Amino acid sequence: MAIQISVFIENKEGRIRKAIDTLAKAEINIRALSVADTTKYGILRLIVSDNEKATKALEDDGFIVKGSEVVVARIQDKPNGLNSVLALLDDADINLEY
């Protein structure tokens, strides 16, 4: 298990960069990230080197941050790598939420 932090941001120019810059100034390493957006806002989902430090830095800079437990899987970089992991989850009757 890992902790994923979700950063709620306005969908406007420079906001993702500001969040990433905040983490850089706090010397936080980003290990994984994804972005989901709509026309008005976005959610920047991150797995970082120090969750508590990252959350504090982002909140101190005005961002809304939420943490949640996630399962992390290393997937082989080859064709069908993801599907082999999904098959294991299906066989174990584990549903994915996204």
Q: Cα(76)–Cα(69) distance, rounded to whole angstroms?
A: 23
pTM assigned to the model = 0.81
Q: Cα(82)–Cα(50) distance, rounded to whole angstroms?
A: 27
Identify the burial level of 96 via C-beta atoms within 10 angstroms of its C-beta, where 0-12 means exposed, 13-18 middle and 19 or more buried: exposed
Task: Write the pLDDT tens digit of every residue in 7-46.
Answer: 999 988 999 999 999 999 999 999 999 999 888 899 999 9
Q: Cα(18)–Cα(24) distance, rounded to whole angstroms?
A: 10
Instruction: Give the pLDDT of residue 78.
Output: 92
Instruction: Give the pLDDT of residue 29.
Output: 97
Instruction: Give the pLDDT of residue 98.
Output: 62
| Domain spans, the chain | 2-91
Structure tokens at 48: 């970082």
Q: What percent of the chain has pLDDT over 70?
A: 99
Rg of the chain, C-alpha, whole Å:
15
* CATH 3.40.50.300 applies to domain 2-91: no
3 has a pLDDT exceeding 70: yes
Q: What percent of the chain has pLDDT over 90?
A: 73
